[in-house]
Amino acid sequence: MQTPTLVVVLLALMALAFHLGRRRSFTVATRCGGIKALHSLPSHYGTLTAMWCAIPAAIVLFVWVAFEPTVIEHLVVGALPADYRALPAERLSLVINDVKNMVSGNVVSRDPDPAMRAAAAHYQNLERISAAALSVVVLAIAIGGVSIGWRMVSPRTRARNKVEIVVKYFLIISSTVAVFTTLGIVLSVLFESIRFFGRVPISEFLFGLNWSPQTAIRDDQVGSSGAFGAIPLFAGTLMISFIAMLVAAPIGLFSAIYLAEYATPRVRSIAKPLLEILAGIPTVVYGFFAALTVAPFVRDTGNAIGLEVSSESALAAGFVMGIMLIPFVSSLSDDVINAVPQSLRDGAYALGATRSEMIKQIVLPAALPGVIGGLLLAVSRAIGETMIVVMAAGLAANLTANPLDAVTTVTVQIVTLLVGDQEFDSAKTLAAFALGLLLFVVTLALNIVALHVVRKYREQYD
């Protein structure tokens, strides 16, 4: 039986086990005086039986599938003629690959000799045996599990508690998946970054004022030696994020105040989804908008009033990024403002405060820490945003404070460094990982500050 078939059969068995366990509990219940005499509900007994059926079998299946190739390979190598086994490790792995290719019917890198044919046949044979054994073992365990579960259905078995413990561990495993993935990403970026810092000193990377990652690929090539100062990139990132927040913070906050305090339920029920549509627009579409509409408009307007504006200005990219962040800011602020208790509003009204006094002096101060938390989250999104700046901000790593100049951001540079065919041991490519690591550290710090602020806020009025 193939593994997918086996999984389907296992699922069917599980459903059957649930049904059996549940039926069994009814039978047991009638014998000892009704459902009330049982410790748990019939569905709990059913679930328990299904778990006994599926979990041990699934674990065996998983372990088997994980180790099967290694074991088979080991056995095949062991059966190869002595002169093959004497080959160096890389050559040997080539031979193994050929054997595997022959088994799966792919093109083989050289003419197979009889020894390899024998090995391939052996391999195929072992695979067949393994599949058959796997089916037998897994199904035996599953059926054994069903019978254990079946026998456990009794008034004294605490099926509910057992089911809930299993559910708890299932939830724990689910939540650790995200944590370990993050850890994996950080580690992979970290190791590449360490390799980069082996070539470029960390002080030059952190404090250098020049960014020009072009390095000579061959020794005889005429080319720059590369300069890896991250300052211009971070300056560009911060400037664009700053412009974005200049747009997003007031507009988002004001629209949140309107939605939370002034809008009638009808207006709110229309305006809020509309605002959230803005959040659903893919950033690449914002990118078009920035590059094709806003940037030329900014340039033409600037030229009309006699300003020198480059066609890929930080202003245009930042402005569009700000538009993108408006729904983010307004939706977070709206939640926070709505969380301010009505009793505070009543208290202010009862003292004769007008609505705007009430909002300015009572609601906003109470909501401020939460609003700041939301804004910091928006900043970390602005810093990490890629698509808009790739399309609208340009590639020139200028160290400038003029928002009308072209600047580039960390994310844009990471994209350009890794797009296309790259060798993964040059300083140029590795620089992308160092930039990614630094970016990660910056946004992580911002998120920690934001979460801290939000948490502090929760203690305020309860």
Residue 371 found at the interface with another protein (CB under 8 A): no
Residue 308 found at the interface with another protein (CB under 8 A): no
**Non-local CB neighbours of 9 within 8 Å, separated by 6+ positions:** 1, 139
Residue 339 found at the interface with another protein (CB under 8 A): no
- What whole-number distance in Å separates Cα of residue 395 and Cα of residue 384? 16
Q: Which of 212, 346, 448, 456 binds another protein (CB under 8 A)?
A: 346
Applying CB under 8 A, the span of 65-73, 116-124, 142-150, 351-359 interacting with another protein comes to 351-359
Six token digits for residue 48: 């328990």
- What whole-number distance in Å separates Cα of residue 279 and Cα of residue 276? 5
Q: Which of 34, 265, 282, 306 binds another protein (CB under 8 A)?
A: 265
Residue 269 found at the interface with another protein (CB under 8 A): no
Six token digits for residue 7: 């999984």
* Residue 221 identity: Q
Q: How far is the CB of 42 from another protein (least distance, A)?
A: 42
Cα 119 to the chain's mean position, in Å?
A: 42
Q: Which of 259, 336, 348, 392 binds another protein (CB under 8 A)?
A: 348
The residue among 20 and 454 lying less far from another protein, judged by its C-beta, is 454
The residue among 20 and 256 lying less far from another protein, judged by its C-beta, is 256
Residue 343 found at the interface with another protein (CB under 8 A): yes
Are the C-beta atoms of residues 167 and 94 closer than 8 Å to each other? no
Q: Which of 344, 404, 418, 449 binds another protein (CB under 8 A)?
A: 344
- What whole-number distance in Å separates Cα of residue 55 and Cα of residue 43? 17
Residue 461 found at the interface with another protein (CB under 8 A): yes
- What whole-number distance in Å separates Cα of residue 190 and Cα of residue 209? 23
Per DSSP, the three-state class of 227 is strand
* Residue 306 identity: G
Applying CB under 8 A, the span of 83-91, 94-102, 346-354, 419-427 interacting with another protein comes to 346-354
Applying CB under 8 A, the span of 32-40, 192-200, 357-365, 418-426 interacting with another protein comes to 357-365
Residue 347 found at the interface with another protein (CB under 8 A): yes
Six token digits for residue 445: 């710090």
Residue 366 found at the interface with another protein (CB under 8 A): yes
Cα 90 to the chain's mean position, in Å?
A: 35
Q: How far is the CB of 356 from another protein (least distance, A)?
A: 8
Residue 455 found at the interface with another protein (CB under 8 A): no
Applying CB under 8 A, the span of 224-232, 356-364, 410-418, 435-443 interacting with another protein comes to 356-364
Phi-psi map region of 154: left, alpha, beta (phi>0 left; psi -120 to 50 alpha): beta
Q: What is the CA radius of gyration of the chain?
A: 32
The residue among 348 and 450 lying less far from another protein, judged by its C-beta, is 348
Burial of 222 (0-12, 13-18, 19+ CB in 10 A): exposed
Applying CB under 8 A, the span of 50-58, 106-114, 131-139, 336-344 interacting with another protein comes to 336-344
Q: Which residues are near another protein by CB under 8 A? A: 262, 264-265, 341, 343-357, 361-362, 365-366, 460-461
